[in-house]
A = this chain, B = another copy of it.
Amino acid sequence: MNLSVDGDRLWDSLMTMAKIGATAKGGVCRLALTDLDRQARDLFIAWCRSVDCSITIDQFGNIFARREGRDSSKPPVLTGSHLDSQPTGGKFDGAYGVLAGLEVLRTLNDTGYRTVAPIEVAVWTNEEGSRFSPPMIGSGTFAGIFDLQYARDQIDEVGITQGEALDSIGYSGSAAVGGRSVGAYFEAHIEQGPILENENKFVGAVSGAQGQRWYLVKVNGDEAHAGTTPMTARKDALHAAARMITEVNRIALAHSPYAVGTVGRLYSSPNSRNVIPGSAELTIDLRHPEDDQLEIMDAELREALKEVADDLGLLVDVEQDYYAEPISFDQTCIGLVRSAAENFGYSYRDIVSGAGHDAVNIARIAPTGMIFIPCEGGISHNERESATLKHLVAGCNVLLYAMLGMADCD
């Protein structure tokens, strides 16, 4: 293996892409299916066309840049990630996986290297789940987990459907969503956690992903005057929500060190300073690498929320609106990532992904592997998110090696 990627070119692409939706604090705000998302997609497509790739856009806006192989009848070896970001996201989450794929295409193009199977780089629609829930719905629809109509019907906070948003940026393509064979899928990504950095490793060979349960919780109390309603006569929905938040943290801590639990979003109504809140809505995100542990946490959560509501005389409605089972990746793919790291002399370790990724969905329909690289302080979903060139290059070289390993095998 003599090929290796051009680190400066990869860095330039990342920094150019990061200008689209750049924030004052050095991060990126490029919510799914906004005009900024469109600009990012257009730029990616222009770059891919300049290295003689054909572009396909499917009916849910997933983009595929294809470099033909010597045997076009073979299913493609696919890589990719996403170009949408959190509202206060960073430059690398998602964009790295897409642009590492682009750098693989460019490297092959520079050297005229022709793989046996075709190579494709995918941009998956709405990975973050921030504007439209659930997350990873582009790859999920491709993998047959969601219907196209379901995906189009999801609405954002102002009532725009995902389908309308897709149409309005001109990315409702004509190709069917999924339903075709994928030879293998690799995704390069920043770890978004502190493990690789703490152990001074260049590469993580991702063995699988945590299971996730997401909940939408509605608390119904009673609005009343903050000055005249005795403490014992209150049905304060925000007070109940507050106690529920501490319960989520207690449950996650009780399942240390692998469990995490987060309340990321909270609305309280009427949200007026001198009115006791009558209703509140919160989201809960529980994760654990083992499904049976996640099930125990689910039961503990439901019991705790009920207890808080009963104690304060309020009503609570708990709806689990997203579930991702723990995933184990393909042993051949994981092995190729490990041997790629060895080939280049990069330090590496096996690692479980704490985050969901498009790879978790594609793992249902194709042999899949992921490559993690460290990010500074493990910080992600934050404008301070940062990664260093040496690690970005390492992950990209491992991606190249692993993709060639699958594309050139018989």
Please give the residue numbers on chain A whose beta carbons come within 8 Å of chain B beta carbons, in ascending order.
Answer: 86-88, 128-130, 133, 135, 191-194, 210, 212, 214, 222-233, 236, 238-239, 241-246, 249, 252-253, 256-257, 259-266, 268-278, 283, 285, 287, 353-356, 378-383
CB-defined contacts of A227 to chain B, threshold 8 Å: 192, 210, 212, 260, 285, 287, 353-356
Q: In the bound complex, do residue A274 and residue B382 qualify as a contact, i.e. CB atoms below 8 Å apart? A: no
CB-defined contacts of A354 to chain B, threshold 8 Å: 225, 227-229
Q: In the bound complex, do residue B246 and residue A266 qualify as a contact, i.e. CB atoms below 8 Å apart? A: no
A224 to B275, CA, bound (A): 32
9 more A-B residue pairs beyond the given contacts A231-B261, A264-B274, A266-B266, with a C-beta to C-beta distance below 8 A: A87-B272, A226-B264, A231-B257, A239-B263, A262-B274, A265-B273, A266-B271, A274-B381, A276-B381
Q: In the bound complex, do residue B130 and residue A226 qualify as a contact, i.e. CB atoms below 8 Å apart? A: no
Q: In the bound complex, do residue B88 and residue A223 qualify as a contact, i.e. CB atoms below 8 Å apart? A: yes
A151 to B210, CA, bound (A): 54
Most buried by B among A87, A238, A381: A381
Integer count of this chain's copies in the complex: 2
Known: A130-B272, A261-B231. A285 touches B226 (CB 8 A): yes
- Listed by A's residue number, 17 A-B pairs whose Cβ atoms lie within 8 Å are A135-B274, A193-B225, A194-B229, A225-B354, A225-B379, A226-B260, A226-B287, A226-B381, A229-B378, A232-B257, A238-B263, A239-B246, A242-B263, A264-B274, A264-B275, A265-B268, A265-B271
Q: In the bound complex, do residue A272 and residue B266 qualify as a contact, i.e. CB atoms below 8 Å apart? A: no
B86, B133, B277, B382: the one within 8 Å of A264 (CB): B277
Closest beta carbon of chain B to A374's beta carbon, Å:
12
Known: A243-B242, A265-B268. A224 touches B260 (CB 8 A): no
The binding surface of chain A is classed by DSSP as loop
A269 to B212, CA, bound (A): 22
A239 to B266, CA, bound (A): 11
CB-defined contacts of A249 to chain B, threshold 8 Å: 231, 236, 239
Most buried by B among A210, A230, A266, A276: A230
CB-defined contacts of A236 to chain B, threshold 8 Å: 249, 262
A268 to B266, CA, bound (A): 7
Most buried by B among A128, A225, A249: A225
CB-defined contacts of A229 to chain B, threshold 8 Å: 193-194, 260, 354, 378
Closest beta carbon of chain B to A156's beta carbon, Å:
12
Most buried by B among A224, A256, A277: A224
CB-defined contacts of A128 to chain B, threshold 8 Å: 272, 274
Closest beta carbon of chain B to A4's beta carbon, Å:
28
A222 to B287, CA, bound (A): 20
CB-defined contacts of A270 to chain B, threshold 8 Å: 86-88
